[in-house]
Structure 1
Amino acid sequence: MTGGRVRLAAVVAALGVVFAFGTWAAWDFVIDDAFITFRYSANLADGHGPVWNVGQDPVEGFTNFGWMLWLSAYAAMGLDLVVVAKLTSVLLGIGVLLMLLHHARRSSGLVAAVVAGACFAVFLPTYFHLGSGLETMAFAAVVLRATIVGLDVLAGREVRPWEPPLLLLVAGLLRPEGVLAVLPAFAVWLWQRRRSREALLWTSLAAAVGLAYFGWRWSFYGQLLPNTFYIKFGNLDSGSRWLELTAAMLGPLALLTAVLLWRRPTRAAGALLLGVVAATYATYAVSGPTMDYVHRFAFHAFPVLCLGAGLAVGSLGRRWAYPVAGVGIVVWTALAGVVPRDLPTIVNYGEDLRRAHVAIGQGLARADVPRAERTLAVSDAGAIPYYSGWDSIDYIGLNDEAIARGGDRTSIVRRAHPTVIVVTSTSPVLPDTAYGLRVSEATTGYLHVAQLKMRDGYWQNVFVVPQWATQVASAVSHSGEEAMRGHDPGRYDKTLGRWFDRLRGRT
């Protein structure tokens, strides 16, 4: 084995160790939103179609159709979707790391590969996005692959004619804004191959499939966009704040990538890389995405910035610039990954979710309540509806068209008169309103049978109609007690220290 291969093997091994440790450290994490997708996947696997409540008017309460479809195949096999989603993302994360190493080394040498791979591997949020259960890593992998294909076209390398159209299609299926994120790289390829009948044929085929899907979902759900867009997007002030936070975190990576613009041989590559980042972030900058834990939406183009930083370092002509720029950007990226304000909450989130949301959902599933009476209203429309299997009103509105369009939450819940209402509070004292629900009005005639603490400042309160109060109270209390066994009972603090203590206990 040559010296270059030995060094490359050492780099791969070192980054593999970092990646494996990060994956292990964040393995407990899963986000509540992922269970929304899981519910749609399970209903599709059971033959009911991708619906929130079986037998009711379909509503598209998710933004990741391709991810939902992928998981539905495993739901049909009876597999645990949490584990499937995590393992899929881990494999895709490994793929991202290998793509970064391979392309950066091929284009600019081993130093570029080290920088690109290290930035990805030392960024702590990488591992929480691996374990979240959502499509975050899958989408980031598709955006990166499309970018590399575009770079290959600029470098004159051979590109399979079916790959760019397929990547465009998959990106659009994974997220509605995916087409925009992949479009710059696709446009480069299509312009270069504009006289190729094969390229036009594959592009036409992908367009036909995409239009057929769009027509089907519009017909099936009756809305131009997923229902969640009417809740989560549209706040320009929030978008401006999102952009400021993202620039503070990833600005140095983008600035280093911009170094590629200074030299003619790398100018086109730099423009493509920055164009992909701009296209990916444009939707979020003008809409203000919510539920953006540890920079989830910024992560969609994060591997592209890692690649850009690696290529930029590799393009520096002076030897002293290699270690200065390379070490500097890797250290910055590592520090940027540990300073998000919500990190102390996120590192403990999986454990907290199990002893509150999961416990309530599993308790409701066990409760001796007739099928016709299994109706629920909840603000956290994830693990509770998924594990319970009950028909659910999501009074935030992600899975409710009337609420998403501005309907009065309290009136809608009152008319439905569900058997159980779950109310979130920031203390043991019940709030006057919770996510727009007027609590005392909505729960009039109900009994408050359980209160489960998720973490400091976050409680779930269970209200039940008197007829089924005893059954629900017993089942939920039993599930809550089970969840506390072996899961750090008594610790609710939002601190990194609690996470470190749990990791030490696991070792």
Structure 2
Amino acid sequence: MMMPEEARAEALRMFRKYVPWLLIVGALLLAAFRSARFGGYFPDDAYITIRFAEHLSQGLGIVWNVDGPPVEGSTSFLQTLLYAAAFKLGLSLAVSSYAMNTLGLASLVVILYLTIRNLTGRFDVAAALPLAMFFSGVAFSVHLNSGMETLIFLTLISASFLTSLVLLDRRTWTAALGLAVVNFFCLLCRPDAAPFIMGQGLVLAIVALRAWLTQANTLFIRQLAVSFAVLVAMGLTFLAWKYSYFGYVLPNSFYVKASDPLAFNGIQPVARFLGDMLWRIGLLVPLLIFVDWRFRGDHGNQVPARVALLVVPVAVFLAYYTTTLHLVGFFNRFEYPMAVFFWIGLSWLLSSGRSTERLQEFAGRALGSAGGRVLVAGVALCALAVQFELDSSRHQKWFSRIQILHYEPIADALARSEAGSDGTLVFDSAGYIPYVSGFSLIDPIGLTDNVLSGREPITPTEREQYIWGSDPDVYLGPVPAASAGAESGRDDPLVQSEYVQKILLQPVIFAEYDRIIGKMTYDERLEMLHIRMRELRDRWIAVGEIPYPYPSPEEYTHFLYVRRDSPHADRLVDELGRVTTRPIENIDFDNLLDGQRRHNLQSLRLLAQEH
């Protein structure tokens, strides 16, 4: 029979052993619950990668349109290859996506556990709690279910950090070559891993140079040089292949996202990301108060180098993103992978600083040892509960809403026309509709089109001539047809309407067009717009309005047009006419919301019954 002191020691041992994993498992169960409730629908950008992957799996190459030229328009080359391999094996889209993310999540859990053990030598409540907050956050579950590369990139970039720590500790050739391979896959997954890798290389180079100058270790600088030489060699080989295949090196997405670096157009989303991280970390203030800031752990004078490896690459990465134009920023999509390093740092600080033990000891003076443990558990549960409550209103079915209420009826109508890849759609959003309908697509922004991408200078007039000279069959977008007889924006009464002035001629609304119209004057924007308006008036049939589910501003909407001399015109007008909610000629563009009717689930069910 155990003595009281032995029982207390055993209770403490069990507490330290199992509670950390209970926190992690609980957080993962919450992520699984959110996946079951909100998953199954992907944002439009995911379908860009999926469409490229499908064509690759069919032996067409990395092309956007059937019989089109090679195009690199997806965010992640690696994920395109992974999806293509899954499709080649006969896996469905849903199975492919969730298999990738499940394997990625399992790998991430192991990587983060090994990282914390490397940094602190243990895995206790103080180390597990920040990771549990990371896994249970709303952004994590959204990205887990987005069908995009975010979780894969997050896993790879975490593996890069862990490998750099191992290299710093052990100074082995295996770790040096392993770092080169992991970083190469990071770049394959997202080319914007380059700033992170540069920051990492800078820190390791300083450590290696100091060791070489002090004769403490001359091997490390050779290992580091070989590691980055191997990385550069692999990278150059890949870029050479890309140039031979695509005819260019940087993917189209970089041209679309890029803006004048000195404009720092990315400061606002980066600041929003940092602000979100700040209040989440603030939930752990009760533990931060009890950190013993004198800790150095088992790593002695290596602590500054390890801190630099954690901080500098993240800082360089985020600094890079202050210079870019963000197009799709749901839950800070581009910055989000860096969030894991904030939680790693917090785990390291709380665990090595003995925060939970010190809080437990402090509370134990008044509450006893058992009461101290209960208080620590209470602080952990309260932090998780408050984060959950604050996140609960932010996790909505917005992926499914836009798909069900907007993309699906249009895609299904196009599919019923049986035009397939012979039909061409002009639409700024490039993913779901062409993937489901099989239509070819011209993306005016240039993400999936080499001519419109901005690689070669192209004037606004040339842009419009290229789009409409391709004889597309369907236009979906916010632009109405010009007034009868108007030959310029200056003599068109429709241009003076509230809708055109507030929606179409305000560049801030169409952020994705900033690269095209950001530096244009009002007159230049008007001229470009009216070219499109005259085109729609002179050669197109106005089918009707189909309101956008998430209008911002409120008056933003979409119209459907079919080219008069399209070989599929009759069938397209018939099918698309079923999904529009009112004729365009009935719209008062000074009061567009008057009489507007939006699709809802009931109206779409009735529409489906007709077919």
The bucket for the TM-score relative to the shorter chain is 0.7 to 0.9
Match of 2:251 among 195, 208, 226: 226
- Between stretches 126-135 and 233-242, larger displacement belongs to 233-242
Q: Which residue of 2 aligns with 1:245?
A: 272
SS in 2 for 1:421: strand
Deviation at 1:179, TM superposition (A): 3.0
**Residues of 1 paired with 2:268 and 2:114: CA distance?**
35
* 1:401 alignment counterpart: 450
State whether residues 129 and 347 of structure 2, in contact with CA within 8 Å, keep that contact through their aligned partners in structure 1: yes
Matched, 1:275 2:339: no
Distance (whole Å) between structure 2 residues aligned to residue 270 and residue 393 of structure 1: 47
Contact 1:43 1:50 in 2 (8 A): yes
Matches within 5 A, 1:145-184: 145-156=159-170, 160-184=175-199
Aligned-pair CA distance for 1:321: 5.0
Q: In the alignment, what sits opposite 1:443?
A: 536
- Matches of 2:429 and 2:314 in 1, distance apart? 31
Q: Which of the residues 62, 66, 91 maps onto 2:78?
A: 66
Residue 417 and residue 38 in structure 1: after superposition, are their counterparts in 2 closer, same or farther (change >3 A)? same
The answer for the alignment partner of 2:563 in structure 1 is 465
Contact 1:362–1:476 (CA<8 Å) still a contact in 2?
Answer: no
CA shift, 1:207, in A, is 3.4
Change in Cα spacing, 1:417 to 1:249, as seen in structure 2 (3 Å) is same
Paired with 1:139 and 1:285, the residues of 2 have a C-alpha distance of: 20
Shift of 1:269: 2.4
- Single out whichever of 81-90 and 223-232 deviates more from structure 2: 81-90
Equivalent pair of 2:150/2:333 in contact (CA under 8 Å): yes
Counterpart amino acid of 1:121?
A: F
> CA 1:402–1:169 in structure 2 vs 1: closer, same or farther (change >3 Å)?
same
Structure 1 residue 210: deviation in Å? Answer: 2.0
Over 3 Å counting, the alpha-carbon distance change for 1:380 and 1:261 in structure 2 is farther
SS at match of 2:81: helix
**Which residue of structure 2 aligns with residue 497 of structure 1?**
none
Task: From the superposition, tell whether residues 163 and 306 of structure 1 become closer, same or farther in structure 2 (CA, over 3 Å).
Answer: same
Shift in Å at residue 245 of structure 1?
A: 1.4
Residues 103 and 113, structure 1, Cα contact 8 Å, conserved in 2: no
In the TM superposition, 1:308-387 aligns within 5 A as 308-317=345-354, 319-321=357-359, 323=376, 343=394, 347-369=397-419, 372=422, 374-387=423-436
Q: What value does the CA root-mean-square deviation take over the aligned residues?
A: 3.7
- Cα drift, residue 118 of structure 1: 1.4
Specify the SS of the correspondent of 2:219. Answer: coil
AA aligned opposite 1:469: A
Q: Quote the offset at 1:86 in angstroms.
A: 3.4
Question: Counterpart of 1:80?
Answer: 92
Match 1:118 to one of 122, 129, 132: 132
Shift, 1:379, TM fit: 0.9
1:501 matched to which residue of 2? none
Partner secondary structure for residue 295 of structure 1: coil
Letter in 2 for 1:447: I
Cα shift readout 1:305-357 (whole Å, capped 9, x = no counterpart): 11111111112245445859967875786577568xxx47x632223213322
SS in 2 for 1:448: strand
Matches of 1:194 and 1:73, distance apart in 2: 43
Out of 407, 410, 417, the residue aligned to residue 464 of structure 2 is 410
Question: Which residue does 1:297 correspond to in 2?
Answer: 334
1:40 to 43, 52, 73: 52
Residue type at the aligned position of 2:152: A
Between 414-423 and 194-203, report the one with greater CA deviation. 194-203
Query: How much has 1:367 moved relative to structure 2?
Result: 0.8
Aligned twin of 1:287:
324
Number of paired residues?
479
Matches within 5 A, 1:251-262: 251=278
Q: Do the aligned partners of residues 281 and 36 (structure 1) sit closer, same or farther apart at CA in structure 2, a change above 3 Å counting? A: same
475, 481, 486: which is aligned to 1:421?
475
Give the letter aligned to residue 244 of structure 1: A
Matches of 1:281 and 1:98, distance apart in 2: 26
> Are the counterparts in 1 of residues 546 and 579 from structure 2 also a CA contact under 8 Å?
no
- Contact 2:157/2:186 (8 A) holds in 1: yes
Query: Could you tell me how far apart the structure 2 residues matched to 1:456 and 1:19 are?
Result: 26
Work out whether residues 295 and 353 of structure 2, in 8 Å CA contact, stay in contact via their aligned partners in 1.
no
Q: Secondary structure at the match of 2:418?
A: coil
Amino acid corresponding to residue 351 of structure 2 in structure 1 = G
User: Whole-Å Cα distance in 2 between the matches of residues 370 and 135 of structure 1?
Assistant: 28
1:455 is paired with a residue whose SS is coil
Q: Which residue of 1 aligns with 2:609?
A: none
